[in-house]
A and B are shown apart, each in its own frame.
Chain A
Amino acid sequence: MTTDTHPLERRTRLLQAANEVGKQVTQILDLDALLPKTVDIICDAYNFYYAGVFLIDETGQWVMLRAGRGEAGKQMIANGHKLEIGGHSMIGACTRERKARIALDVGEEPVHFKNPYLPHTRSEMALPLVVGDKVLGAVTVQSVEERAFTDEDILTLQSMADYLAVAINNAKALKQLEKANAELLRAKTYEALTASTTQAIHWIGNKALPITTTIERMKADLNADVINPQSLLEDLWLIEESTRLILEVKENLLGPARETKPRPAMLADVVQAAAFHAGVPAGKLFVKEIAGTPLALADTTQLARAFGNLFRNALEAKARNVTVIIQPAADPEFVSVEVIDNGEGMPPEILEKAWAAFISTKGAGHPGLGLPAALHVISQLQGRISVTSQPGHGTTFHILLPASNDQPGDLSGGAKSVQLIDDNDPWAQCTADILAAAGKQVTRSLELKGTPDLIVVDEALESLPAADVVAMLGAAGVAAKTVVVAAALKVEPAAAYLRAGVKDVALKPYTQAELAALLRK
């Protein structure tokens, strides 16, 4: 030791180093970070030439260098430096005997390994890494001076090695736990996939079977002397119905599998759009949004599909009406949505299988994919969904969706006058207010008024089909100023609007940024 001359100062530094190792190593649970940090702390605090950490390999015959100070350490690790346990090295001997070994002059040490990467070593200490009755490896500390280690050094360094051994043991245990967890997860995922695939194949097989048997029967009937048209018509119906069910499975499974594109969404509007597409009669749906509810972060096309499935279930359960309550959740990171129907409700034995695919209470005519698809969509959006139900009283779905902030946008540019062709719903009201506040001239009407710069048509119009509105605008020569907006877009109508000459078809803007982009279209 060349720099520490005052014994008290030296002792203080050693104790601080021991404390630092103790503090740091217990916080690091990644061996690749823990071991290099430890050798650096030891060398810096004691001003040693070299320090390294060896761990016993899987065979139990060797100790492998896992961290080493400086360039020498790097090269030895790259070369796979290892020493035999019990062999002719201080580390090998110390690991076997579980006892510290010190060579105050390595020239005199009978088991010292002459390392070509560390030619200036004159003193060396090997400290075992032991936890309980288990030896994990050893730490080597080397100095360029003879007799560099005092009794105090040995004590503090062994105490450091003990801390380190505990930390290594914890890190290894965590790694084993993570590995076991990953294996369990893989096994469970595989099991779930196999189960659902088997169910899907079984279900589709059951639906396809009537097609083949009916066709064989029809072939035979057509060769008969007397043809029975009634029987043939019934057979055709059987084929039609089986095919419809198989195609319905494709529609349900393909939807949630698509990549989601979350954006800030006004849930009340997505709920209205979902009800419109699911055919919920006007007057049966009540949407209550508590003032101050933030926007949710969601892919609105997918979310509308999920809400649509819940509404269809409610209608099939003979609900007299459906109430949707949207409000801030107890956790400010989320928005809460409750979908409450007063239909037949579900008994407990059905409720516990509600999320399983291909299980339906409505007979063979239903694939039973509505709720699993809704679960999949909500999960993909990082939300949660649960259900409570009371037979005879109805069912309530509790949904949490991640909250989102409005995204500010510059509304000063783009169209100066805008006509909104929309039913009198909260989205239209909110959009009109924002545009008016930004100094735009806003008109709201189902008929063309004046010569606006931009015409925005809501696709989900209760009062008349959007296609008729687009045709009317085309006849008036203003289709090129028109953008059709929807909470959930479908391809066939989108192609038709575009072919009719509208400027664009877009997702409904729910933020100022999206509205600003719409004005600049």
Chain B
Amino acid sequence: MPKILLVDDEPLIQRSMQKTLMRAGYTVEAAGNCADGLKRFEAAEAGGAPFDMALLDLNMPGFDGGEASGAGLELLSRLIGLRPDLPVIILTAYDEVSKVKDAVGRGARGYCVKGREQSLLDQINAIFKEP
């Protein structure tokens, strides 16, 4: 059963997305900021039960604890630095193509505007079906 790390600072979105993903058959662990997300990822790697995918909010508290625009991209780079083949999808409230280019350039596999959850589930399923 694929295991997903979900990092989002909005508790209701986090919980709702977690339930949707669990219902779709995934194991989901959630974190509310970049530092916690990285800690969980590293612990899972060290414990021999690594994550198969990460979903990261774009704008959330950064590693210094303050709300940062694009903090999710920094976490993305750190995770890809630890595991270059990790599939990562960025979640955001905005349609900004420049951010998409930045995210894909850093190794993101997908990008999803919140509120279009079906598109997110389609993207996740498609990635796990890839050979």
Contacts and interface: CB of A to CB of B under 8 A. Distances in A.
Contact of B96 (A251, A491, A498): A491
Given A247-B115, A498-B104, A254 B97 contact: no
A489 B98 CA distance: 10
A505 interface: yes
Interface stretch (B22-30, B31-39, B49-57, B105-113): B105-113
Contact of A254 (B94, B99, B104, B109): B94
Given A254-B94, A489-B97, A495 B104 contact: yes
Contacts of A247: 115
Contacts of A490: 95, 97
A134 interface: no
Contact of A505 (B93, B101, B113): B101
B52 to A, nearest CB: 17
A498 B100 contact: yes
Contact-residue bracket for chain B: 20 to 34
A491 B115 CA distance: 13
A353 interface: no
A499 B93 CA distance: 20
B112 A492 contact: yes
Interface majority SS on A: helix, strand, loop or mixed? Answer: helix
B103 A495 contact: yes
Most chain A CB atoms below 10 A, which of B93, B108, B115: B115
B119 interface: yes
A250 interface: yes
Contacts of B108: 495
A255 B93 CA distance: 11
A209 interface: no
Contacts of B83: none
Given A498-B104, A499-B104, A492 B97 contact: no
A492 B104 contact: no
Given A494-B97, A494-B101, 4 more contacts: A250-B115, A258-B94, A491-B95, A492-B123
Interface of A: 247, 250-251, 254-255, 258, 489-492, 494-496, 498-499, 505
20 contacts: A250-B93, A251-B115, A254-B93, A254-B94, A490-B95, A490-B97, A491-B92, A491-B95, A491-B96, A491-B111, A492-B116, A494-B101, A495-B100, A495-B108, A495-B111, A496-B110, A498-B100, A499-B104, A499-B110, A505-B100
